[in-house]
Amino acid sequence: MKLCEFIRPTSLSEAREALRELGPKGMPLAGGTALHFMQTKTPVTAVDITRLGLSYIRQEGDFFTIGATTPLSDIQRHRAHGWAMHEIARNISTHQIRNVSTIGGNICRVFPWADLPVVLLAMNAHMVIYTGDGKEEEVAADDYFAAQPAKRFNGGNILTAVKVPVLKAHQGFGSVKAARNAAAFSLVTVCALLELDDGRIKTARVSAGSAIPFPHRLPSVETALIGREAVSAVFREAAAKSGTEVKWCAREGMSEDYTRQLAEVSLADALEKAAAYANGRTK
């Protein structure tokens, strides 16, 4: 993508108005690490949103609120009780890229290999979108990632924050990203959020990405877990249900069958991690 001009607004309303007026010839810009993946040949004006105070992480009640221009390196370094986002952030690309790439840039336009949409689906996050006139709307992850979210911003609306629930007692989060090397795109990314009650699975949210065209919840896996004992055999059995929900894709020299096996093993590992995490959390 070719950038022909930069605009640096000083407020959300100014940024939204500029994007609304520019239409397809404008785009919000923060880290800019995905520009070379956008194949349009039409020059666009970049609306720089890095000066709008959208880089922060703070706890607000039952949520951690992450500003849309917060770099992934900040998410990787952050630590707090009930926080688990650092686990996947440290496995995204290289440290140099994480210093620049932002959480908003990762989820405003979703590429097939993206990791954060998988995490946010499993964690039941909410996206906060500025819609003008001082108004915001919150969109739950299931709705936000039901289709390509880039369409939500065609009218100039701006993602301002991501709200991730604070993990509570007996809840655990686990993620697995399979890649050829640390800087490579993911071959399979899977995430699980489990809530345990006396060793049994009370609630479950499980999601997958990279080995499928678009990030997706796996309700069949979740159903196979609810009420069951949190043990390895149950996790493997539930992971085998994933193929009824999605079609695993052949990619990067891997056959569909190999991808399926990699995904199922990764799912079982993520569930093991989530259960171990939940067992260790009593408050």
Is the pTM of the predicted complex or chain greater than 0.85?
A: yes
Report the alpha-carbon distance of residue 31 to residue 8 in Å, rounded: 14
Q: Does residue 202 carry a pLDDT above 90?
A: yes
The per-residue pLDDT for range 258-279, each reduced to its tens digit, is 999 999 999 999 999 999 999 9
Q: CB–CB of 132/13 below 8 Å? A: yes
Please choose, from the candidates 93, 138, 105, 114, the residue with its C-alpha nearest in 3D space to the C-alpha of residue 215: 114
What is 171-279's CATH number?
3.30.390.50
Q: Does residue 110 carry a pLDDT above 80?
A: yes
SS3 178: strand
Percent of the chain with pLDDT over 90: 73
The per-residue pLDDT for range 145-172, each reduced to its tens digit, is 999 999 999 889 999 999 999 999 999 9
Residue 60, pLDDT score: 96
Alpha helices in 34-129 (DSSP H): 72-77, 86-89, 95-98, 103-108, 116-122
Please choose, from the candidates 250, 232, 229, the residue with its C-alpha nearest in 3D space to the C-alpha of residue 240: 232
Q: CB–CB of 116/90 below 8 Å? A: no
Phi, psi torsion values for 166, nearest 5 degrees: -70, 130
What is 57-165's CATH number?
3.30.465.10
The per-residue pLDDT for range 30-88, each reduced to its tens digit, is 887 666 666 667 788 889 999 999 999 999 999 999 999 999 999 999 999 999 999 88
What is 3-47's CATH number?
3.30.43
Residue 29, pLDDT score: 86
Q: How confident is the model at residue 218 (pLDDT cuts 50, 70, 90)?
A: very high
| More confident of the two residues 236 and 182 | 236
Residue 226, pLDDT score: 98
Q: In what order do the strands lie in the sheet with 216-217?
A: 171-178, 188-197, 200-209, 216-217
Residue-range domain boundaries for the chain: 3-47, 57-165, 171-279
What is the average pLDDT across 196-224? 96
Report the alpha-carbon distance of residue 250 to residue 123 in Å, rounded: 27
Two domains, one topology: 3-47 and 57-165: no
Residue 37, pLDDT score: 61
